[in-house]
Chain A
């Protein structure tokens, strides 16, 4: 199953290398850097799925820079866009359209039947053209599977979710419990409350509207009110969540307790004892250790500790020019916007606090 690639005329560059297809607006040195990055990722692709290649690219591209759209073909195709570029893919689940302006990427339930990557102002696809490999001028591309797959069923509602549920091996025996009246099992005792095992107490102050805050903050972190005129009497109280962890697949986890991050975090003693929640990295995870890194809440601050992972952990602090390698066992306090890399995968700390 090969893709035939036609060009859309206009200003910009079109790249085809290995499993990657890309278009990028003219932007001088930043365009050159993107072409080099796309080539590098394609050269090191091995037999990695498209979704992994796009995740690697997304991890190294900033939100700023010339408009671009990139697609990775193969087992799990994926697309990425930034700025004014648009990606439209037809696959089993119907048509998927991705637009900027911020950096976005999605996995698609493949295979793709058609794919269109375009920059603003691109023309109609030129049927006489065909790009096998290389870098040429153009404002977009249209790729078509030589042997088209069955089109999406028209009655299916367009789905916005892009990651398909994993297909089970239907040869494996299944277990099932009938829930109908008369068949349903006794639900048993009420499930344990989903509370963090220990709710830590921290010292804090109340704003005028009774929001509990870090005494070092000058403005309330909930309502933004100034805390300057208040009499600062600190007291102990339950620590509010310090923000969220956002994993590269879009999952959001509440930071109200420590997390152990890895391929198999349940092997951690503190997870077993419910002193920390597991954050399991599913899907492509080569280079991620079973227990890789711990996110630790220390008072009002968030720190990360590398748990002697095999391949190490990198921190990208907001505004820092270069990533920083964690020393195993030594906690590093992080601020919102920090990205933590574990091999090919990453997560970010996001919060309205600690800014």
Chain B
């Protein structure tokens, strides 16, 4: 793909649950002083109704002032394809870092992402798609990127076709079974990312990489297991995030406790 609207793409940055990321040069139309931006192009067919809903959700996201949230820049559609752009962070994400990161750096980025989630929750917004690919590394700690939007384009959709299927491992199984997305679901996701950052493994063992249905069955039929390699306090924190929804810590408390971890 060469570009969309007035964005000229330089190279792909990877794919998410429901679209592709590209590095693009900033069009002159945009009033900000950066050379590059990240553009996400969604799989789902856009319609005027979906476009209005998606821009409204993104505008609500953009209105949340938090230094740890990625800045959304622009949202649009061309020829039935929906896209949005946001600030580009060259250090990459926990899933696809530009350079290997230490556990300390990973924890700092995750603590920042948890603070960003807390700011979203305070504004009444659930992120719905917290996973390593959306926790970005930054010299001052990290940023939480993106917003799960698949439900905007197709009611009832939890997993879109052919995307990166690893995301399913981070989704609260209650959501896969039909629960309402909310802050507690985001805290579950943060807990699983914490497990991944500190132990290097997921809570369901190795999931089949290329088969969404098999991965889904595994997630629904397996009780998440916290690795024995985690230090006691970290293991307790992960367990609390995976506990009954009403007993989970809120995102702000979780951020403080992640920041207090001494690996």
Contacts and interface: CB of A to CB of B under 8 A. Distances in A.
A62 interface: no
Is the interface on chain A under 10, 10 to 19, 20 to 34, or 35 or more residues? 35 or more
B155 A277 contact: yes
Contacts, number: 196
Nearest to A257: B156
Interface in A46-74: none
Interface in A138-190: 153, 155-157, 159-170, 172-181, 183-188, 190
A76 to B, nearest CB: 13
B59 A170 contact: no
Interface string B143-165: 00000000100111111111111
A355 to B, nearest CB: 12
Nearest to B208: A102
A99 B158 CA distance: 26
A273 to B, nearest CB: 13
A179 B72 contact: yes
Contacts of A175: 51, 76-78
A251 B79 contact: no
The listed residue with most B CB atoms (<10 A of its CB), out of A179, A186, A222, A350, is A179
Given A165-B19, A253-B158, A177 B1 contact: no
A160 B216 contact: no
A193 interface: yes
A208 to B, nearest CB: 16
Contact of A259 (B2, B3, B156, B214): B156
Contacts of A282: 45
B78 A174 contact: yes
B59 A256 contact: no
B43 interface: yes
A157 B12 contact: yes
Given A104-B211, A153-B11, A184 B177 contact: no
Given A157-B13, A159-B12, A170-B78, A177 B59 contact: yes
Given A102-B214, A168-B78, A252-B216, 10 more contacts: A159-B12, A159-B20, A160-B164, A165-B42, A168-B4, A170-B4, A183-B31, A250-B162, A251-B161, A254-B178
Interface of B: 1-6, 11-15, 19-20, 29-32, 41-43, 45, 51, 53, 55-60, 62-63, 71-81, 84, 96, 124, 151, 154-165, 176-178, 180-181, 209-214, 216-217, 220-221
Interface of A: 93, 98-99, 102, 104, 106-107, 153, 155-157, 159-170, 172-181, 183-188, 190-191, 193-196, 222, 240-241, 244, 246-247, 249-254, 256-257, 259, 277-280, 282, 350, 352
